[in-house]
């Protein structure tokens, strides 16, 4: 037989797209349209419904950037349409191939009921099926004219303060139409079979069987009367649609989904509306399709609907009770997991799961994080301690270099906890359930021979409207179809239960799930990151001192601020969303974030001061409060032993001959700072050429090198500006060594400061203050930058005389090791890494650390010198200047603090990291204030001290083993204790072996490496 495949396939494409699809809407009459422009920000629906509408018509422009236009459409169903399915087509001017990144609408009835969303692939509203004829139609559309910002070009449209006022869209269609159900069904048949056919091998007889059936169907269609001949055409396809799948066919669990970024190319306020539109869409679809299941993560988004759209929330609640609308995820938002602090990550689970339990009585089991930019190795333990069982991600499929070896596996965290994990082989969290994607899922699945099933989240995300009736039609046809995976719609927990039962001995992946992409997110939008870190630290202080005051201040004179602390926590958690904290949102988002963090700082500072004032009591004595978990000059909130090196030799400064002897032709010299523990030499360039550990007799700075060397690189990645740094940025580097001014302040014996000023680039300046304090074994560096560069990367380099094969980086509740070499592509891909408060390198017997107050990005490289020694260079990533999606990223003034700690072991790095992030506070009062709790082992770090969420007055202490070894410690309470139990993150009793007997307010603890333990201390009377 002659090969005519291409002819038939081309015929299918043309006839389907040009004739059959348009015939789904066979008759139409125009609707009468009015419009009203909402002034400024969006208004409540009642105001929009009651507004005065001006006449308008299709073809007219509407919508400046970030505006809201209300449309009223009215009409009457023609009498001759009786018995037909009738819909309103409300096309706001959509670009069909860009769902989620343009204008959107929410349709209301005249009584204010939200009906469904309008989106590029979902522009209809059902009016009647069947129609009686003569029905009056009155609908209202709240239309958002969000600008299209997805083309990765610098634009000022990303903030309403700088966006233009020109209209962006043109009304395309506002009609009543007859919906031809049988024609629509024919479209679904042909689309499913056509996409399946193209995925089958040319040698497969099934492909040719479908081809001939399609040809017969096309022959059966009368192009002049498609509605009248659609049923006849469908009959030609019945046999090939009835042929069952192979017994061994891959099984796809299809879960309705609409991944909605809580902010990204739109502000937070627009996400509130996106969620309402999508939820309305999904409820509407559930009414017509009881088999449909939709999973929605992010408790914050459901809380928004409850607050802003209670009538939509009521519908959602009903569908949750029916089991169709499924809350998943267990976190407040789908947060970043690289940079979020340990306690904040615990609170993501606490407040997320608590919301689902309180509102719906649902204990979510799966952690749902498809789109975050890599996953911390601390996550498995947190998943387990939250009461969750499973983990799902998709983003690892974006890795540039190495293909991840598993799709279903056990993920092992830094403490040894394992969580059953799935990574959908469909490689998208916005599947359309088409034949191409289903075939890809089956081919791509890496567990063949051991497992047979995978999950596919389907639906248009980010305001695209979620799942569609077309997707459900595909799922129905692919349920049991020869040549395709078996596709069944089901809940995520049903999938995980089956996958776990089928593959209990899945392989193990130990350590972080590092995304080999988006490494620039560790640095972009420095003020957002700084606001997050400082807020986390202030929340620690606020809870600690508020709890101490609530327990200690007599006569119930101090009240613990439960509501305020929960509200502030939720604000901080929201801003940890994976496009806010990583710095990959538009300018509007980060402008608002800066303002929000300023308010949070003001509120928390007031809470801290109120609690400390209540504790200090009346008087004029200076009382120093220390919120760090290690002893210091003030109250030892987490321990009772003196800190190493407190007090000590006063700091001295003396001139010293240090190369180079001239700067810009001027003769000059260097300076030596010493305090009996550390001797630091700073040359005429203001660079650290020596940091000598006197106690160990060991130099930290590599021979011939200089530390605290600021370096700039060109930074223009191949695509994702705010997200990425590509490795080729290292090909060009400029060392900032020119000095504008160098001065020494040696006003007293407690500290010596060397101030260095530089200017560079396009008007940028930097002023650094290097401080050595009495008794300290760290060199503090305070860096103030007026940043005027664009597409430039600023680093601070510390070449250390250490032979280190790996670096240790603080992560949540512990640290991770990463190789300093590039033996394999996996190691080479980690050319930029994330660390929290510290990063440390060491060789047996000696190491050094860098600690910081708000920096996350780092890189570590190694070189062998001519003398045979190894230089391990640790660099902090201080600032970037990408231009998309915020063209003014990081422009302006920044203050960044970090410190070099020569001789630092892991424990020293932990202590110094807390020191720089938790400054002492001084309050005047009447007398000393004793710590509320203490731990007698420095390896055990108190992470949080608070009152219990149930408001019963119990004290909750969260602590962890910080060094990667076993620890036995005693937790001592500074108040009468009736009992102690170990709890999960939601403060529910759990069977644990970490908490031992309680005697005289002392609790015995036994911790394995990096174990997190939450202890609930019930207070005794007295």
Query: Which strands sit side by side in the sheet containing 418-422, from one edge to the other?
Result: 366-368, 390-392, 418-422, 408-412, 508-510
Beta carbons within 10 angstroms of residue 948's beta carbon: 17
371 is catalytic: yes
The interaxial angle of helices 587-616 and 526-552, nearest 10 deg, is 20
H-only helix segments in 575-646: 587-616
Query: Tokens at residue 515, please?
Result: 């995304």
Residues 191 and 171: beta-carbon distance below 8 Å: no
Per DSSP, the three-state class of 782 is strand
Query: Tokens at residue 413, please?
Result: 């965290």
Distances (CA, A) of 357 to 313, 398, 652: 16, 33, 60
The catalytic residue among 175, 336, 371, 780 is 371
* Cα distance between residue 320 and residue 821, in whole Å: 51
**Residue 369: HSE in the Cβ half-sphere, 13 Å Cα cutoff:** 28
Apex 802 CA angle, 878 and 858, nearest 5: 20
Using left for φ > 0, alpha for ψ between -120 and 50, and beta otherwise, residue 1018 falls in: beta
Residues 846 and 698: beta-carbon distance below 8 Å: yes
Distance from the first to the final alpha carbon of the chain: 97
Tell me if the bond preceding 130 is cis, omega within 30° of 0.
yes
Beta carbons within 10 angstroms of residue 10's beta carbon: 10
One DSSP character per residue, 552-566 reads HSGGG-S---HHHHH
One DSSP character per residue, 851-905 reads EESS--EEEEEEEE-TTS-EEEEEEEEEE----SS-TTTT-EEEEEEEEEEET--
Per DSSP, the three-state class of 126 is strand
Beta carbons within 10 angstroms of residue 642's beta carbon: 12
Residue whose tokens read 């392989």: 507
Using left for φ > 0, alpha for ψ between -120 and 50, and beta otherwise, residue 23 falls in: alpha
* Cα distance between residue 739 and residue 759, in whole Å: 8
Residues 938 and 629: beta-carbon distance below 8 Å: no
**Cα dihedral 578, 584, 588, 594 sign:** positive
* Cα distance between residue 759 and residue 947, in whole Å: 49
Tell me if the bond preceding 481 is cis, omega within 30° of 0.
no
* DSSP strand pairing (418-422 vs 390-392): parallel
Beta carbons within 10 angstroms of residue 4's beta carbon: 11
Query: Tokens at residue 985, please?
Result: 């993150």
Per DSSP, the three-state class of 942 is strand
Query: Tokens at residue 11, please?
Result: 């015929």
The total number of residues written for the chain in this structure: 1022
Residues 920 and 928: beta-carbon distance below 8 Å: no
Residues 301 and 338: beta-carbon distance below 8 Å: no
Query: Tokens at residue 318, please?
Result: 């009903």
* DSSP strand pairing (453-458 vs 251-256): parallel
Residues 758 and 920: beta-carbon distance below 8 Å: no
> What phi and psi values does residue 743 have, to the nearest 5 degrees?
-130, 160
Question: Annotated active-site positions, please?
Answer: 371
């Amino acid at each position: 037989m002659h090969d005519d495949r291409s002819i038939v396939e081309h015929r299918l494409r043309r006839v389907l797209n040009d004739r059959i699809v348009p015939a789904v809407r066979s008759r139409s009459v125009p609707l009468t349209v009015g419009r009203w422009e909402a002034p400024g920000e969006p208004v409540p629906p009642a105001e929009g419904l009651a507004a005065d509408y001006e006449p308008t018509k299709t073809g007219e422009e509407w919508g400046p950037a970030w505006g809201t236009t209300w449309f009223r459409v009215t009409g009457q169903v023609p009498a001759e349409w009786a018995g037909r399915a009738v819909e309103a087509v409300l096309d706001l001017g959509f670009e069909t191939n860009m769902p989620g990144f343009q204008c959107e609408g929410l349709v209301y009835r005249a009584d204010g009921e939200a009906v469904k969303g309008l989106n590029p692939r979902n522009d209809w509203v059902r009016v009647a099926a069947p129609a009686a004829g003569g029905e009056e139609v009155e609908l209202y559309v709240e239309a958002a004219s969000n600008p299209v910002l997805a083309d990765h070009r610098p634009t000022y449209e990303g903030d309403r303060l700088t966006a233009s006022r020109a209209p962006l869209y043109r009304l395309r269609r506002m009609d009543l139409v007859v919906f031809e159900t049988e024609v629509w069904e024919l479209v679904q048949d042909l689309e499913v079979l056509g996409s399946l056919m193209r995925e089958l091998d040319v040698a497969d007889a099934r492909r040719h069987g479908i081809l001939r059936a399609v040809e017969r169907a096309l022959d059966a269609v009368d192009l002049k009367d498609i509605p009248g001949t659609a049923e006849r055409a469908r009959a030609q396809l019945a046999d090939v649609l009835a042929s069952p799948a192979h017994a061994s066919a891959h099984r796809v669990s299809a879960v309705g989904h609409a991944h909605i970024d809580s902010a990204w190319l739109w502000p937070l306020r627009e996400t509130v509306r996106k969620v309402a539109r999508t939820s309305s869409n999904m409820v509407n679809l559930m009414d017509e399709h009881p088999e449909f299941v939709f999973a929605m993560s992010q408790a914050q988004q459901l809380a928004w609907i409850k607050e802003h759209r209670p009538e939509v929330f009521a519908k959602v609640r009903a569908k949750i009770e029916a089991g169709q609308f499924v809350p998943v995820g267990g976190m407040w938002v789908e947060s970043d997991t690289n940079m979020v602090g340990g306690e904040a990550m615990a609170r993501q689970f606490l407040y997320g799961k608590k919301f689902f339990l309180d509102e719906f009585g649902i204990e979510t089991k799966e952690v749902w994080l498809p789109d975050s930019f890599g996953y911390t190795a601390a996550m498995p333990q947190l998943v387990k301690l939250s009461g969750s069982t499973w983990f799902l991600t998709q983003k690892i499929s974006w890795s540039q270099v190495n293909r991840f070896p598993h799709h279903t596996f056990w993920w092992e965290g830094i403490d040894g906890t394992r969580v059953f994990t799935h990574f959908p082989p469909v490689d998208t969290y916005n599947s359309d359930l088409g034949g191409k994607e289903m075939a890809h899922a089956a081919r791509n699945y890496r567990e063949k021979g051991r497992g047979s099933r995978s999950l596919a989240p389907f639906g248009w995300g980010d305001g695209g409207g979620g799942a569609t009736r077309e997707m459900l039609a595909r799922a129905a046809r692919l349920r049991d179809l020869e040549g395709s995976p078996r596709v069944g719609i089901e809940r995520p927990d049903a999938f995980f239960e089956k996958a776990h039962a089928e593959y209990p001995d899945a392989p193990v992946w130990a350590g972080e799930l590092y995304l080999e992409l988006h490494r620039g997110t560790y640095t972009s939008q420095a003020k957002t990151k700084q606001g997050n870190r400082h807020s986390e630290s202030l929340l620690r202080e606020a809870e600690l001192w508020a709890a101490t005051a609530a327990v200690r201040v007599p006569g119930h004179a101090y009240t613990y601020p439960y509501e305020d602390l929960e509200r502030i926590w939720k604000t901080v958690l929201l801003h940890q969303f994976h496009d806010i904290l990583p710095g990959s949102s538009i300018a509007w988002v980060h402008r608002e974030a800066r303002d929000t963090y300023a308010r949070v700082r003001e509120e928390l500072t007031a809470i801290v001061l109120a609690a400390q004032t209540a504790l200090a009591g009346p008087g004029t004595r200076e009382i120093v409060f220390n919120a760090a978990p290690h002893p210091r000059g003030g109250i030892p909130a987490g321990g009772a032993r003196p800190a190493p090196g407190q007090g000590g030799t006063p700091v001295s400064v003396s001139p010293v001959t240090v190369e180079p002897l001239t700067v810009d032709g001027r003769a000059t010299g260097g300076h030596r700072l010493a305090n009996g523990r550390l001797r630091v030499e700073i040359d005429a360039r203001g660079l650290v050429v020596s940091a000598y550990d006197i106690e160990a007799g060991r130099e930290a700075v590599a021979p011939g090198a200089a530390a605290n060397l600021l370096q700039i690189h060109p930074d223009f990645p191949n695509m994702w500006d705010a997200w990425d740094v590509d490795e080729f940025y290292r090909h060009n580097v400029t060392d900032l060594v020119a000095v504008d001014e160098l001065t020494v302040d040696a006003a007293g014996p407690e500290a010596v400061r060397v101030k260095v000023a530089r200017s560079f680039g396009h008007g940028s300046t930097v002023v650094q203050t290097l401080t050595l304090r009495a008794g300290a074994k760290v060199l503090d560096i305070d860096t103030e930058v007026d940043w005027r560069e664009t597409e430039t990367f600023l680093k601070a380099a510390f070449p250390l005389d250490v032979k280190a094969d790996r670096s240790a980086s603080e992560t949540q509740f512990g640290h991770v090791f990463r190789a300093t070499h590039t033996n394999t592509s996996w190691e080479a891909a980690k050319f930029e890494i994330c660390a929290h408060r510290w990063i440390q390198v060491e060789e047996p017997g000696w190491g050094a650390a860098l600690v910081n107050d708000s920096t996350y990005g780092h890189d570590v490289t190694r070189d062998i010198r001519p003398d045979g020694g190894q230089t391990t260079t640790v660099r902090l990533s201080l600032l970037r200047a990408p231009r998309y999606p915020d063209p003014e990223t990081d422009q302006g003034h920044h203050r960044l603090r970090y410190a070099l700690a020569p001789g630092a072991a892991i424990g020293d790095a932990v202590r110094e990291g807390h020191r720089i992030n938790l400054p002492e506070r001084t309050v005047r009062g009447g007398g000393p204030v004793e710590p509320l709790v203490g731990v007698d082992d420095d390896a055990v770090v108190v992470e949080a001290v608070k009152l219990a969420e149930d408001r019963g007055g119990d004290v909750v202490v969260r602590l962890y083993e910080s060094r990667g070894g076993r620890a036995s410690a005693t937790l001592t309470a500074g108040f009468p204790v009736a009992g102690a139990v170990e709890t999960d993150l939601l403060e529910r009793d759990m069977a644990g072996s970490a908490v031992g007997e309680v005697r005289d307010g002392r609790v015995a603890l036994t911790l394995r490496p990096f174990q997190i333990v939450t202890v609930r201390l019930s207070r005794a009377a007295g």
